[in-house]
Amino acid sequence: MSLMAQGAIRPAAEDQAEQARARRLLQRRSAIRFFEVIIWIAAVVAIFLLPSKMLILTEIAILALFAVSLDLVLGFAGIVSLGHTAFFGVGAYAAGLFARHVVAEPVIGLIVAGAVAGVLGFATSFLILRGSDLTRLMTTLGIALMLAEIANQMAWLTGGADGLSGFSLDPIVGLFPFDLWGRNGYVYCLAVLFISTMIARRIAFSPFGLSLKAIKSNPTRAALVGIPARRRLIITYTIAAIMAGFAGALLTQTTSFVSPDVLAFHRSADVLLILVIGGTGYLYGGIFGAVGFTLLKDWLSVVTPQYWMFWIGLLLVVLVLVGRERLAHWIEYMPQRLSRLREGGR
């Protein structure tokens, strides 16, 4: 065999070894971790251990799905948004209008709401990807504000400021009616959250997800190595819009009511705060943040009804200035330090 042939075989073997190594790395990254199993088991066990807390658990599941959808855009694709509530609100109205005028079956309404939000996400993605982060912030905020005003003015369709009501939903898949205690509603929302999170997880820990991280890190370099950055950002933005539409539809279906509040700016602010609390870039930050934010808001609104927003704002400032990792280190360090001081005093 000539030296030229040997030189051609060696790079090919090296490429195959590198590809095998990359596949093993992806498999390790995408493997289900122990803490993920614990999270979903705890969510199911809560059905039996906390029967009186079904409504707040349903709220947590809906917020978690909304936050996971934003994390897919912000944490992986690097697209900043102040108007992600646009897709949440469109999904909520689509589910309500579909149940009132077409069919009251929840699952079909959920799919329709996700499809409508996805169409809006795809249509607006071409605007969102233009310009800098500041341009994206203002564009997303402007879209959400315009939709909120449209919902407020088209009272003949949306009910205006009074909201859309007067519709009831059939049992879920014809078997499980929405009960007064909210148990079936929570199970329904939890199932949608689980399926959506697993889909988002599969996207995030696939070669597609790795390319998104490359685009987020350096879009120009990613384009130079052959990654179709614009196309993949559009796909990701559309998928995130569908998931946000699911979350809005779940809110409408579990409450049988929808108003322009679903398009209000505070919902976008809340979901951003949830991601600040839980962290971005690993999907479960949205779930952890939704649990922490909802429970903290519920507790503070009882302890200090007039000033609960002050304490949440203070937490946000501390998290931003100090950092989540350093704060966690202090939380672990302070009890140990106090115990040592107590032992030294003896």
pLDDT for the residue 337 = 52
pLDDT for the residue 304 = 78
**Considering the entire predicted model, what is its pTM?**
0.86
Cα distance between residue 120 and residue 122, in whole Å: 5
- Say if CB 62 and CB 242 are below 8 A apart: no
* Number of domains composing the chain: 1
pLDDT for the residue 240 = 95
Assigned domain for 301 exists: no
Residue in 36, 291, 53, 256 with CA at minimum distance from that of residue 165: 256
pLDDT tens, N- to C-terminus, the chain (346 residues): 454 545 445 566 665 666 666 666 666 666 778 888 999 999 999 999 998 899 999 999 999 999 999 999 998 888 888 889 999 999 999 999 999 989 889 999 999 999 999 999 999 998 888 777 788 888 888 899 999 999 999 988 888 888 888 888 889 888 888 887 889 999 999 999 999 999 999 888 888 888 888 888 877 788 777 888 888 999 999 999 999 999 999 999 999 899 999 998 889 888 988 988 888 888 888 999 999 889 888 888 788 777 777 777 777 777 767 665 554 554 444 455 545 555 555 5
Assigned domain for 269 exists: no
pLDDT for the residue 27 = 67
Question: What range does the domain containing 255 cover?
Answer: 36-263
User: In sequence order, what are the residues at sequence separation of 6 or more whose Cβ sits closer than 8 angstroms to the Cβ of residue 136?
Assistant: 79, 80, 81, 128, 129
Assigned domain for 189 exists: yes
Assigned domain for 128 exists: yes
Distances (CA, A) of 210 to 25, 217, 252, 253: 12, 11, 35, 35
- Say if CB 239 and CB 84 are below 8 A apart: no
Distances (CA, A) of 93 to 50, 111, 155, 261, 262: 30, 13, 12, 11, 9
Assigned domain for 198 exists: yes
Assigned domain for 181 exists: yes
Cα distance between residue 113 and residue 93, in whole Å: 8
DSSP-assigned letters across all residues of 182-197? -HHHHHHHHHHHHHHH
Assigned domain for 329 exists: no
Phi, psi of 258 (to 5 degrees): -150, 135
Assigned domain for 115 exists: yes
Amino acid (1-letter code) at residue 185 = G
